[in-house]
Structure 1
């Protein structure tokens, strides 16, 4: 289960809708394993992931003059943190379909902040947090560094369109090693409220997903995205 930290910002309304866009293979892996894959933070395409803004880095360098391990801790900590990203939006996002699904056979999980919180199962080896990402000017604004997970809740303003909420897993106090990422246990029925099929997919693909989900014993609603519905004139 996740740890409630008052320093981490989240929407007040736990019914706030969140989305995860993914391909069929990752979706089936989630259903079969009952585990949510989380990427190691330094494996993201954004090279700034888990790093500090310029003003913060200058402050840390001052503190590291007499304690070089202080700076080294923040550099190596990125290898010990894994992230699952979710998109806040009341509606589907055309941009998210384009970015996170490589072809017309993708799908989207619709959930809520509350469902995401309740779906996480207790883990003995690491701590988990859920927080909303802050988008700042990395040349001008300070990122707090009184807690080592804070860098993972900040991104550059150019990523504001992502409107991201993150599940953050920190294995820094354990002996675990992360390669590409790790999987955390989740309650699938709590996590998933509804599934949307890619707007450009064929009907056979929707029927395939429905059949696979049914065979695996799940009963959540599956709908075709209406972003490509018929134009009414």
Structure 2
């Protein structure tokens, strides 16, 4: 269930369009299970995920001199935070297709922040928060640590192109042991507004996606990628 946290910045409105780019197997798993996968924060490719900038780390080390458990907590906490990443953009992103799909196959889910909030189900055993990622210089900028979610809402400036919105949960109090991540209940029809098929995919693949969605009983609008438009001379 979505909970608003006053400490977590989300300047975008509920009408802001967000995207998730993924391969067909992950998409089908989402439809069949009606669950959204959230990755354990320390399993992301970015090794800085959930860590602090240098100025913040120096401040934390001072505190930890008299309280060693303080630093240990932040180190282990990464294993208890799970994240689902979304890309905020009014339009499709060529870069996101390149990064998150392979072999000219894949899909993009188009949603909005409001739809994502609505889709998160109350029967989930822990709370979900939504926040935007701040992109900073990890050598110079300070990351606040008065909220335990803050380390997971900052990334290096090199990742600015991601324009990331995150669904984020802390399972520390739920006695949950997670491996690579976990799945949470979602209302699929609320979550998904449209589906876009990879712009370079072949016709057989497009037909396969359409048939699979229909056979599973969903009636999402399935769009041809804007990047696939024919050149007009």
Contact 2:7 2:147 in 1 (8 A): no
| Partner residue, 1:173 | 173
SS in 2 for 1:91: coil
Between 71-80 and 202-211, report the one with greater CA deviation. Answer: 202-211
SS in 1 for 2:18: strand
Aligned pairs for 1:57-136 (under 5 A) are: 57-123=57-123, 125-136=125-136
Deviations 1:20-42 (A, max 9, x none): 00000000000000000111100
Q: Which runs of 5+ in 1 are unaligned?
A: none
Aligned-residue CA RMSD (Å): 0.9
| Partner residue, 1:3 | 3
CA displacement at 1:78 relative to structure 2: 0.3
CA displacement at 1:125 relative to structure 2: 3.3
SS in 1 for 2:37: strand
CA displacement at 1:124 relative to structure 2: 5.2
CA displacement at 1:105 relative to structure 2: 1.4
Q: 2: distance between equivalents of 1:209 and 1:228?
A: 17
SS in 2 for 1:105: coil
CA displacement at 1:10 relative to structure 2: 1.3
Aligned pairs for 1:1-233 (under 5 A) are: 1-123=1-123, 125-233=125-233
SS in 1 for 2:117: helix
SS in 2 for 1:173: helix
CA displacement at 1:104 relative to structure 2: 1.2
SS in 2 for 1:141: coil
Contact 2:92 2:226 in 1 (8 A): no
Q: 2: distance between equivalents of 1:12 and 1:193?
A: 18
Number of residue-to-residue matches in the alignment: 233
The normalised TM-score by structure 2 is 0.98
Q: 2: distance between equivalents of 1:138 and 1:226?
A: 36
CA displacement at 1:156 relative to structure 2: 0.4
Deviating 4+ runs (over 3 angstroms): none
The normalised TM-score by structure 1 is 0.98
